[in-house]
Chain A
């Protein structure tokens, strides 16, 4: 059974940093792209970043590029999101998800974790 378990969320002041983790199990982690998606309170889903199987390619939504860094450790079956210079608008529930690409036109997320809450407030 595929399982994704996020951790690391919490309360942080504007300008602060936080590192999220996602522990994966039930599949060969090193064979899949992985993604972070967030949902702000009362808002819809927003894709944040993703990373290739070997970590050689990383992509970000414009609003976090330069502040957030996605990474992975295939030996530990873990995905990370380092969040720096946090802003109030980064407040959200952050989900990790398995990212699927079916050539040439299909990009989607087939398994999701339960999420970890990040609250940025003074």
Chain B
């Protein structure tokens, strides 16, 4: 069981907007630690998508955006494209575990 909770799957038609939630607790997201998001396409290395809650590394399309509030965070994908089909993971730091922690991952399916 992951420290951060994500929905197992979300889906949307091309062009639509989907959001992925990431729920933590008072020892991680709620303690003020930043949330980061990774995209994982099967057979390839994870790719940093969002860091510091809402910042995009160079090269990441602005269709991807992140936000954080209280003990939760969200990743939004607008204008969904076929190439966005992948697994998405949130990640933060947990002070009670003294460890970097991940969510269980969310599979995004483009219908």
Contacts and interface: CB of A to CB of B under 8 A. Distances in A.
A103 B51 CA distance: 13
Given A102-B52, A112-B46, A44 B105 contact: yes
Contact of A105 (B32, B89, B100): B32
Contact of A45 (B48, B52, B98, B105): B105
B38 interface: yes
Interface in B1-24: 2
Contacts, number: 69
Interface residues of A, number: 25
A59 B103 contact: no
B83 to A, nearest CB: 19
Interface in A65-122: 95, 97, 100, 102, 105-115
A113 B45 contact: yes
User: Which 9 A-B pairs rank lowest in CB-CB distance, beginning with the nearest?
Assistant: A108-B36, A106-B34, A47-B100, A112-B45, A44-B105, A107-B93, A45-B102, A44-B104, A105-B33
Contacts of B45: 95, 112-115
Contacts of B100: 35, 47, 50, 107-109
B57 A106 contact: no
A11 interface: no
B63 interface: no
Q: Which of A44, A95, A111, A113 has the largest number of chain B CB atoms within 10 A?
A: A44
Nearest to B50: A108
Contacts of B48: 108-111
A61 B99 contact: yes
Given A61-B99, A100-B51, 9 more contacts: A35-B100, A59-B98, A97-B46, A102-B34, A106-B33, A106-B51, A107-B93, A109-B36, A109-B46
A101 to B, nearest CB: 9
B98 A44 contact: no
Interface in A19-45: 35, 37, 44-45
